[in-house]
């Protein structure tokens, strides 16, 4: 158990470091405020300014969504969870791994003045950036707090809808994460998350790379395992609303495996999938 906890903390530390650098980099550049729909993902997604590499190939375009705030879009998502979340006016929405506030602000537009949105993120720099964005926009019913998904700082049975975008794959204990989502949701509430899952197992060498983990790739689990964890947490009416294959650029994978190993991997159909999943609490 001690070894498992040590590995978990090592992963969280790597994720905090990576996303902290992305938040700091975003504060130093104006590219995310550009009008082009791909501006955020092409120059902010992945924190390239701090020496990482971009995962902009994973994301989807937010610009069409009402409530979209370009300065909050760091190009870190893998779907559009608010689009199919069934959020209603007056709802209390919880955004897990809220980053700079991108999904939270879209959700805020839907819930209206009588609703409320809380974002939780474990990276202090991201929470600070989201709070600054919210204050700048003058939103009184959106707040951002520091916390971990495996131990949410919210009371049970308090939330109408939980959303998350490309974050749960970063959580070491995904089973506990879904138990926490179940705990904080009201009876009859539901979650809608976009995430990365696998069609087949990745080679061990890819799973061992912290950079790939923090980039949403090696932290993913098999799709059936992912759905099983949701079911075990107690959710009903589980369904995949959207699914698409994510093509990881070969040059990224070739940093870790040989050309021969990559061809074998491609032959096995070890697809990386972006899925948007719904589940309800009875």
Instruction: Please write the tens of the pLDDT for every residue from 147-185.
Output: 999 999 999 999 999 999 999 988 999 999 999 999 999
We report the CATH number of the domain holding residue 130 as: 3.40.50.150
Reported as a single tens digit per residue, the pLDDT across 240-279 is 999 988 877 778 778 888 888 888 777 776 578 899 999 9
Alpha helices in the chain (DSSP H): 2-27, 39-43, 102-111, 124-137, 174-184, 204-207, 210-214, 223-232, 250-253, 259-268
Would you state the pLDDT for residue 118? 98
Would you state the pLDDT for residue 83? 94
Listed as ranges, residues in the chain with pLDDT below 50 are 28-53, 57
Number of domains in the chain: 1
- Domain span holding position 272: 2-280
Would you state the pLDDT for residue 47? 40
CA distance readout (Å), 210 to 199, 214, 220, 239, 261: 21, 6, 12, 30, 20
């Amino acid at each position: 158990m001690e070894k498992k906890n040590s590995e978990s903390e090592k992963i969280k530390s790597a994720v905090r470091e990576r996303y902290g650098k992305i938040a700091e980099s975003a504060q130093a550049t104006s590219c995310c405020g550009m009008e082009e729909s791909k501006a955020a993902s092409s120059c902010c997604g992945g924190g390239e300014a701090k020496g990482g590499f971009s995962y902009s190939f994973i994301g989807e375009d937010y610009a069409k969504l009402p409530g979209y705030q370009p300065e909050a879009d760091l190009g870190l998502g893998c779907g559009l969870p608010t689009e199919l979340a069934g959020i209603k006016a007056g709802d209390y929405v919880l955004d897990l791994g809220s980053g700079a506030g991108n999904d939270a602000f879209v959700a805020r537009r839907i819930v209206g003045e009588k609703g409320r949105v809380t974002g939780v993120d474990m990276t202090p720099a991201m929470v600070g950036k989201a709070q600054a964005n919210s204050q700048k926009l003058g939103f009184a019913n959106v707040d951002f707090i520091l916390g971990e998904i495996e131990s949410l700082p919210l009371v049970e049975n308090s939330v109408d809808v939980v959303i998350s975008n490309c974050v749960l794959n970063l959580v070491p204990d995904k089973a506990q994460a879904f138990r926490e989502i179940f705990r904080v949701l009201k009876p009859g509430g539901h979650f809608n998350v976009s995430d990365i899952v696998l069609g087949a197992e990745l080679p061990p060498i890819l799973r061992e790379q912290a950079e790939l983990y923090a980039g949403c790739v090696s932290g993913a689990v098999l799709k059936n395992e992912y759905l099983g964890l949701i079911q075990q947490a107690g959710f009903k009416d589980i369904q995949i609303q959207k699914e698409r294959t994510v093509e990881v650029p070969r040059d990224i994978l070739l940093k870790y495996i040989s050309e021969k190993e990559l061809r074998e991997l491609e032959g096995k159909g070890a697809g990386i999938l972006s899925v948007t999943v719904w589940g309800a609490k009875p």
